[in-house]
Amino acid sequence: MMTQPQESVTGGGKYLLYTFLGRPVFAVPANPRRLRRAALHRLQPSTVKRAVYRTCVGWSMLARGDWLFSQSVGSPLEQTSGSTFDWENWLHEMREYFGITHLAAAFFWPTVSGRGRLYAHVFDGTEPVGFAKISLGANSSVRLSREAETLRRLGAKYLQAFRVPRLLMEGKAGEHLFLLLEPVPTSARPIARRVEAYPHESVKEYSDEVRSIGPDMVPTLSWWAKYIGQTDRQSQQFHDELISLLDVGTTVCRVHGDLSPHNVVWDERTLWIYDWEESAPDAPVRSDPIGFALSIRQSAIRSSPVLETGRFKRRYLKNVKVADRLEIMMALAFRHAAGIDDATQIIRNWSSSK
C-alpha cells in the first residue's frame, strides 16, 4: 500500500521518484515543492501517453496528491540498476561551472529502455539553466561525441531558419561522458505529427554541399560498415537489390539522422532542432525526409510491418527512376544502420510485399 512521503529538505538528499507502470520517469528533490512543477514542465509531451501522464501528475501536484505517482528515495538513481554514475560529484561540478551554490538537478529516464542514457535538467531555483545528456555505456558515449561535434559545427554557422542548443560543456564524470547543453525554452512544443510539418528550409540550411559519389566510394562512408554488420538473412533481398543498384551512383550530404516531430519544437517564432546523435556528413541525401515520414508512422510499422512495407513501396518506389530508387533505399540503409526500427522492419519485409 502506498503511503504519502514526508517532506524533507533538498540538502538532505531526499528525492521523489515519479514512475509510470513501474518504470522510472523522473526524480526531483522533494523540496521546495515548486521545483517539482518546474521539473514536470521539462517533460516534453512528445506522445499522447506522455501528455496525459504529464497532465495527471500536474493536477496531482496542485492538489498535493502527487504521492500517488511517486515514492521517496534517498538517491535519484536508486532504480537505475548497475549505474556507477556519481551524481553528487557531478552536481557539485555543475554548481562550480554555473557559480550557483544552490543549483538543483532533476533526473529523467529515456522513453525507450536500454539506451544507456540518463538526462538531467539543472535549475537555479525554478529557472532551467542547463540540460545534460549523460552516457551510461560505451555505445552511448560514441553517439554523444558525434552530437558534440555536430553542435560545434552548427554553432559556428550563422543559422537563420532554425536554432540548435548551444553546447556549454563536454566533459566526463568518472567513466561517464556527458554533454551540457543550453535548455530549450519551456514554452517550446513539438511540431505537428504530419508530413507537411517537415522543416524544409532548416534541412536545406544544415545539409551543406550535396556530393555525388560512385560505387567505389560507398564502402568508405562513415556508416556503411555498421549497415553491413547489421545485414542478416531477413534483410538479404533488400541488400542484394541495393548492391545491384550501386553502379548508378548516388548523392550524400550532412543529415540530422533522426529527424522526427519529437526532435523539432516550436517556440513562438523560433524553430529548435535537437538530438543530433545520429548526424553524419556523408549520409544519403534523402535520409531526413524519408526518416521524418517513417517516424510519423512508426507505431503502424511496428504493428503491421508487411502492410506498411507495401504502403512505403507504393508511396516512394512506384514508377521511379533507378537513381531515385537507389537514393530511397540508401536512406533506409542509413536509418537501419542507426538502429531505428521502422527502417529495419521495412528492410526485413522487403520481399513480403509489392
Q: Using one digit for the tens of pLDDT, what is the confidence trace for 139-163?
A: 899 999 999 999 999 999 999 999 9
CB atoms within 10 A of CB 254: 22
Residue 280, beta-bridge partner list: 255
Residue 34, helix vs strand vs coil: helix
What is the DSSP track for 283-338? EETTHHHHHHHHHHTHHHHHH-HHHHHHHHHHHHTTT--HHHHHHHHHHHHHHHHT
Q: Considering only CA atoms, which of 298, 336, 304, 340 is closest in space to residue 47?
A: 298
The full set of domain ranges for the chain reads 10-186, 202-352
Residues 6+ positions from 144 with CB-CB distance below 8 Å: 133, 135, 170, 177, 178, 179, 277
What confidence score (pLDDT) does residue 15 get? 94
Cell numbers representing residue 237 in the block:
533481398
Q: CB–CB of 331/287 below 8 Å?
A: yes
Q: Using one digit for the tens of pLDDT, what is the confidence trace for 10-67?
A: 334 489 999 998 889 999 999 999 999 999 999 877 677 888 999 999 999 999 998 8
User: 10-186 sits in which CATH class?
Assistant: alpha beta
What confidence score (pLDDT) does residue 12 get? 43
Q: CB–CB of 33/16 below 8 Å?
A: no
What confidence score (pLDDT) does residue 186 get? 85
Residue 181, beta-bridge partner list: 131, 167
What is the DSSP track for 132-176? EEEE-SHHHHHHHHHHHHHHHHHHTS--SS-B---EEEEEEETTE
DSSP 99: T
* Residue ranges of the chain whose pLDDT lies below 50: 1-13
What confidence score (pLDDT) does residue 234 get? 93
What confidence score (pLDDT) does residue 45 get? 72
Q: CB–CB of 168/130 below 8 Å?
A: yes
Alpha carbon separation from 263 to 109, 249, 286, 295 (Å, rounded) = 16, 31, 18, 11
